[in-house]
């Protein structure tokens, strides 16, 4: 018994030391630097007249990047505008017709009323009353027809107004502007080419702040928290650390991405973590490998 006791104690001590060593060992999850990218495309088909920025050019929000040919749209808009003016002229004529029909109806009502009074006095005949009543009914029908015609013209004008608004929007969309500050990292269009709807013409990236995505096991997840600043080693900087800020920690585990080297590592469940890395001097580039020191 005396011989075994020290062996047990030594074994337990080694296990504890080993456990502490495993937990306190430093973790250096790695990944590649990425940027927030925006693909710029046309919303309708058209021929490209201008592509102003070159590959690698910095642009600012609101800068004109691409100009499409909108001449056909402008001609179609002019045609619709001419139709709208014609409708407005027809509405003015119909308003005059409606006013005259209302005056005729008022006169017919008055005349019919007087003739009915004369009929009661014996100074008019029933036939005269019937004829005036028919005339009154015709005037009322004319008023109704003119009003309906006016309503129909108003509806047509509203339809043309909507069509003109569509043309105006399409003409505005013919000039593609930068939605934010950034750098052109893909130029996939040239003047004279045909832009298909949705096809990427330019790609814009914010290179002033990059993003590093790494993966941590569940036992190491308590090493990071939102807002925490951590040192990051970028291979290209030869050991000079930069600072990254934790911006997101996944709340769901996933299998390690397939680009991890070993099959055993790919079968492990891990949590994704994103860090934002400032790049004011432009030393960092998309695709650079980097690791986080925990």
What are the pLDDT digits (tens) for 47-81? 999 999 999 999 999 999 999 999 999 999 999 99
What are the pLDDT digits (tens) for 87-114? 999 999 999 999 999 999 999 999 999 9
Number of other residues whose CB lies within 10 A of the CB of residue 180:
13
Determine the Cα–Cα distance for residues 213 and 226; give it in Å rounded to an integer.
14
Mean pLDDT of the residues in the chain = 88
Number of other residues whose CB lies within 10 A of the CB of residue 50:
13
What is the per-residue burial (b if ≥16 Cβ within 10 Å, else e) of 254-277? eebeeebeeeeeeeeebbbbbbbb
Determine the Cα–Cα distance for residues 37 and 203; give it in Å rounded to an integer.
7
What are the pLDDT digits (tens) for 191-246? 999 999 999 999 999 999 999 999 998 888 999 999 999 999 998 898 889 999 99
Half-sphere exposure of 209 (CA within 13 A, CB side): 8
pLDDT at 280 > cutoff 80:
yes
> What predicted TM-score, i.e. pTM, was given to this entire model?
0.73
Q: Which CATH architecture has domain 28-68+184-292?
A: Beta Barrel (2.40)
Q: Give percent above pLDDT 90 in the chain.
A: 78
């Amino acid at each position: 018994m005396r011989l075994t006791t020290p062996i047990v104690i030594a074994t337990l001590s080694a296990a504890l030391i080993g456990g502490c060593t495993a937990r306190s060992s430093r973790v250096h999850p790695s990944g590649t630097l990425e940027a927030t990218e925006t693909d710029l495309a046309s919303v309708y088909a058209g021929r490209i007249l201008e592509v102003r920025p070159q590959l690698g050019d910095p642009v600012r929000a609101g800068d004109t990047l691409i100009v499409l040919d909108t001449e056909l749209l402008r001609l179609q808009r002019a045609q619709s505008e001419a139709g709208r003016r014609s409708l407005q002229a027809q509405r003015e004529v119909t308003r005059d017709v409606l006013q005259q029909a209302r005056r005729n109806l008022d006169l017919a009502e008055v005349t019919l009323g007087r003739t009915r009074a004369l009929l009661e006095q014996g100074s008019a005949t029933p036939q005269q009353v019937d004829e005036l009543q028919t005339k009154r009914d015709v005037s009322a029908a004319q008023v109704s027809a003119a009003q309906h015609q006016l309503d129909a013209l108003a509806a047509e004008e509203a339809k043309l107004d909507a069509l003109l608004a569509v043309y105006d929007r399409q003409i505005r969309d013919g000039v593609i502007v930068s939605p934010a500050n950034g750098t052109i990292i893909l130029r996939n269009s040239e003047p004279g080419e045909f832009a298909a709807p949705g096809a990427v013409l330019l790609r814009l990236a914010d290179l002033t702040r990059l993003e590093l995505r790494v993966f941590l096991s569940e036992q190491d997840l308590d090493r990071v928290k939102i807002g925490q600043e951590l040192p990051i080693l970028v291979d290209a900087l030869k050991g000079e650390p930069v600072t990254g800020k934790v911006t997101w920690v996944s709340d769901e585990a996933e299998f390690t991405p397939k680009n991890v080297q070993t099959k055993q590592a790919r079968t492990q469940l891990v949590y994704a973590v994103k860090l934002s890395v400032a790049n004011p001097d432009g030393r960092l580039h998309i695709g650079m490998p980097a690791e986080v020191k925990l």
